[in-house]
Amino acid sequence: MRIAVLALAVAAVALSSPLIAQADQPLSAGQRFAQDAIIVDTHIDAPSLLLRNWNDLGLDTPKVEFDYPRARQGGLDVAFMSIYTSPAEDAAGTATQTAHTQIDAVEAMVGRRPDQFAVLRSPKDLERLHQRGQRVLLALGMENGAPIGDDLSKLKLFHARGVRYITLAHSEDNRISDSSYDKHRKWKGLSPFGEQVVDEMNRLGIMVDVSHLSDDAVRDVLARSKAPVIASHSGLRHFTPGFERNLSDELAKAVAAKGGVVQVVFGNAFVDPASAADTQAYFDASAKFEQEQAAARARGDKPRSEKEFDDAWQAAHPPRTVKIDAVLDQIDYGIKLLGADHVGIGSDFDGVSGALPEGLKSVADYPNLIEGLKARGHSDETIRKVLGGNLLRVWGRVEALATP
């Protein structure tokens, strides 16, 4: 029944989107599998884009990578909306307000299109919310712990608003943890406050996310947390030697041993060695740029804008062509290294400026991933686990261990 209803949904929006097959074309094997399986993507950056330029994501929106028509075409069931704040917003004291405003934007999207979207706060509610129709369920993941400041009580507030995982740091060290991109390593891992944050997240039932963290910080989280942890959008360093943003075999196995899951990211920067080197070079150059602009301000000179730096960098470093095989290789290796119960997907759609592998350009393309995994000999059971079953299991376990 579900496949038939979804086939009608695909046909209904076919004329509005050039990406969607015509109504008289049968679904491919990958599309049929995608419509029947539960697909959970743990990292989609739509909220940041909504604040820059409001789009009605219930309609086909070609300039972004997540919208309702393509999500239904791709079989996406649960999309974790990334509530992202930058180190600059943390320094300016605006991160808390930005996070609340992004959550407001997600709630507004649901309020305007309740037949298409609903907020998912617990894996227990998935089936109930699906009974009302073919909706995409939106969960919330906070990327960067900056919005809680130094106030643990804000964790309870953001949990009440629906946040179900927190990436403790992003591209710079913060109050909680060291970042894999930051060379300073202020805490040599988690800070004392960060240890309290992990404890409180365990108590509330918020998943602790180790993506973006330094190796020492990941080790500290694993030692501290009483619940399984996740990497919401990380690659495996086996393919990108020296790129600390991705997980080493040692740390990936430690995440799995604790019952957690590594959600393999799609972005070129994390799955392609040359692109990973470009990404690390960007953060190194960005840090140097910030130091130069601080010195300029101290001299009384007019500093250059961050946008000017980013535009120049992107012009000099255009996205590389990467095949879907780069992501399939990561998933293959992850399954062999960790077992089929500890690998999932966290695309980073709308967060990597379109630098994505061929065949994985939007939420319409999960069927291509499925067909690639099938071609490599993975069983239907394993593929279902990777698509969403593993993440839902871990989320449920974290929730069960909570003592709010």
Q: What is the pLDDT of residues 297-345, one digit of tens each?
A: 889 998 898 889 989 988 998 889 999 999 999 999 999 999 999 999 9
384 contacts: CB under 8 Å, gap ≥ 6: 37, 38
**CA atoms in the 13 A half-sphere facing the CB of 98:** 27
Determine the Cα–Cα distance for residues 40 and 363; give it in Å rounded to an integer: 11
Nearest to 231 by CA among 244, 218, 249, 216: 218
> What pLDDT, on the 0 to 100 scale, is given for residue 54?
94
> What pLDDT, on the 0 to 100 scale, is given for residue 131?
64
> What pLDDT, on the 0 to 100 scale, is given for residue 85?
98
- Asked whether the beta carbons of 42 and 346 are under 8 A apart, the reply is yes
Helix (H) or strand (E) holding 43: strand 39-44
Q: What's the rounded mean pLDDT across residues 381-399?
A: 98
The CATH topology of domain 2-272+321-401 is: TIM Barrel (3.20.20)
Alpha helices (runs of H) in 87-186, residue ranges in sequence order: 87-92, 95-112, 126-130, 153-160
Domain residue spans of the chain: 2-272+321-401, 276-319
Terminus-to-terminus CA distance in the chain, angstroms? 39
> What pLDDT, on the 0 to 100 scale, is given for residue 133?
57
For residue 287, give both structure tokens. Answer: 């840090």
Task: Answer whether residue 243 shows pLDDT above 60.
Answer: yes
Span 34-50, pLDDT tens digits:
999 999 999 999 999 99
> What pLDDT, on the 0 to 100 scale, is given for residue 3?
39
Determine the Cα–Cα distance for residues 89 and 142; give it in Å rounded to an integer: 14
CA 329 to chain centre: 19
Rounded to two decimals, the pTM is 0.91
